[in-house]
Copies of this chain bind each other. A is one copy, B any other.
Amino acid sequence: MYAFTSVFANPVGSPIRELFKYLSEPGMISFAGGYPASDLFDIDGLAAAQARAFAQPTRCLQYGPTDGLADLKMQLVALMASRGAPCTAESLLVTTGSQQGLDLLLRVMVSPGDVVVTEQPAYPATLQALRLQQAKIVTVPVDAHGLDVAHLDTLLREGRIAIPKLLYTVPTFANPTGATLSRERRIDLLKLALEYRFIIVEDDPYGDLRFAGDAVPTLLGLTAEVPGSRDWVVHFSSLSKIVAPGLRVGWTVAPPEIARRCVVAKQTVDLCSVPWTQAVAAEYLADGALTRHLPKITEAYRHKCNALCEALRETLGDTIAFHAPQGGMFVWARLAAMKTSDLLPHAIAEKVLFVPGTAFFAEQADAASLRLSFAAPGISAIEEGVARLARAMQATGKTVP
Is the CB–CB distance between B57 and A50 below 8 Å? no
The contact string, 1 if C-beta is below 8 Å from chain B, for chain A 243-277, is 01111100000010110110111011111111111
Contact of A66 among B17, B47, B58, B265 (CB under 8 A): B17
In the complex, what residues of B have CB within 8 A of residue A265's CB?
8, 11, 132
Known: A35-B62, A264-B12, A265-B132. A96 touches B5 (CB 8 A): no
Copies of this chain in its oligomeric complex: 2
- Indicate if the CB atoms of B35 and A63 lie closer than 8 Å: yes
A229 CB-CB contact with B under 8 Å: no
Besides the contacts A13-B267, A132-B265, what 20 more A-B pairs have beta carbons closer than 8 Å? A1-B257, A2-B199, A3-B109, A5-B109, A5-B110, A17-B66, A17-B267, A41-B58, A60-B246, A62-B245, A95-B270, A96-B273, A97-B271, A103-B268, A103-B270, A125-B268, A125-B271, A128-B268, A248-B270, A269-B269
17 contacts between A and B (CB under 8 A): A2-B255, A2-B257, A36-B62, A38-B61, A41-B57, A61-B245, A62-B244, A63-B246, A95-B270, A96-B274, A99-B269, A103-B269, A107-B132, A128-B268, A129-B269, A248-B273, A248-B274
Binding site for B on A (CB under 8 A): 1-6, 8, 11-14, 17, 35-36, 38, 41, 43, 46-47, 50, 54, 57-58, 60-64, 66, 95-97, 99-100, 103, 107-111, 125, 128-129, 132, 165, 199, 231, 240, 244-248, 255, 257-258, 260-261, 263-265, 267-277, 280
